Amino acid sequence: MSILIGNDTRLVVQGITGREGEFHARAMQAYGTAIVAGMTPGKGGQRALDGTVPVFNTMADAVHETGANTSCIFVPAGGAPDAILEAVGAGIGTIFCITEGIPALDMVPVVEAVRLAGARLVGPNCPGATSPGRAKVGIIPASVHLEGDVGVVSRSGTLTYEAVQAMTDAGIGQSTCIGIGGDPVIGTTFLDVLRLFEADPETRALVLIGEIGGAAEEEAAAWAAEHLRDIAKVAFIAGRTAPEGKRMGHAGAIISGGAGTAASKVTALEAAGFRVAGSPTEIPALLRDAGYAG
């Protein structure tokens, strides 16, 4: 079993005829993800990925004709909010928005619309997710993964890759790896993903990769302290040396006063039973120190 994506994923790629969309769609298809449709307005009737994937003008047509249940969005920032809403309107249940640079104010009503529709948005500005051996949606490199039972959730794309590669090199496989995105307004939080992992019988340990800014890590830690007491939990917080008030990398990675600091996050995570790594390469050893025997 896995969370959000798996063998039952039927993916439509919004923006499949663009450079980024086509490049990453090829990688997803090569991994074994069932890409059943592409969608680009005005390109309906064409076929993408060497003729293997039909392209539609609208999401409604793509879903009706192919039974797609998951979307991956490679649409420029100006059109991405509407792309998300169109996917929701067509009945897509799980949407991954890879697009970066979407204004936070544009995302506020979109996130609420997704919630009211009962759908799931991951992102924006996220790398997607991989369920090793089952499906890959987004831009996470396939080569870093190993099938296993450790769930990984992260705000950072590149730190995810580094941490997962370290785990794989140590023989520790993953159940699902999810990048939730580093923007201030996102559709799926750490807490949301931890709840999904708790319900997954094949996830037996957790790795959380956070960064300075906001309170999402502290909220997840408080919940984990009550609900995830009996599994190995490891975390890493990026940005420990960031000056106060300075944004570092992600739009959400900014601290103000005493809120959102690395120290406050580390304290909360340790109190919840997480072993907190000093670098991503320490994660495999800390998993085993925490009792993980996989």
Q: Which residues are catalytic?
A: 250
Q: Which two tokens stand for residue 9?
A: 């994923």
CA dist 24 and 84 (Å) reads: 18
Q: 27 in helix, strand or coil?
A: helix
Distance from the Cα of residue 293 to its chain's centroid: 26
Q: Residue type at 135? A: A
Contacts of 31 (CB under 8 A, 6+ apart): 130, 135, 136, 142
**Closest of 277, 216, 219, 280 to residue 252, by C-alpha:** 216
**Closest of 35, 75, 41, 68 to residue 56, by C-alpha:** 41
DSSP one-letter code for 242: P
Q: What's the burial of 222, exposed, middle or buried (CB within 10 Å: 0-12/13-18/19+)?
A: middle
130: which strand partners? 136, 177
